[in-house]
Amino acid sequence: MVRVPRGIIGGRGRPLQARGRRSNNGACTIERHNFTEWGFPVAETATLKVGDEAPDFELPMSPTGEKFRLSDYRGKNAVVISFVPAAFSTVCSNQLQTLKEKVQEFRNEGAIPVVISCDGPWAQAAWKKELGVDFPILSDFNPHGETARKYGVLIESRGVANRVVIVVDKEGKVAWIQPTEKITDIPDYDPVLACAKG
């Protein structure tokens, strides 16, 4: 488990000084920086780093046309975005069950967890029902992968999002970026929760 010091979570405070870089398994351009002074990893995507304005998006969260717009939560809630590659895949399903166990803790901190994949809304609705989750699963299907591309996490050759968790704070800024070591790994939501508390 990663222990995240309060008060400097997600790059708030002193300027960040990168000590080294490594790519995230070559799947897409995500760089992870190791900060030996703080002892926890901070990352950036191909298009975003901590402190940047988060790109706004409006995505379907049901086949009936209900939409989720990021900017609706500005000034109200942090939004925890989990980009995942594919509905019904074993790892993604296990990740959503892990998130399900943490969802009330996020809500207690005033944070809104959402999941984004490039699947269509009908597939996502069936997946959501099968898993019994009640948080939004958003469809980045049309235009395909547009939001994942804006956030720098789209694997262009496969047409899916990489597995990355991004926290957008109440001011609409990127507060935390957490890729997994491998696309088949499930993210550790404890440091993400610590960021949401911050």
Which residues are catalytically annotated?
92
Burial of residue 66, with CB atoms counted within 10 A of its CB: 0-12 exposed, 13-18 middle, 19 or more buried: exposed
Integer Cα distance of 96 and 34 in angstroms: 27
Determine how many CB atoms are found less than 10 A away from the CB of residue 75: 9
What 3-state DSSP class applies to 66? coil
In the numeric block, the tokens 């609409």 are attached to: 172
Integer Cα distance of 67 and 47 in angstroms: 24
CA angle, 168 as apex, 164 and 170 as ends, to 5°? 165
Give the CA distances from residue 47 to residues 52, 54, 73, 134, in Å, rounded to whole numbers and listed in that order.
9, 10, 22, 30
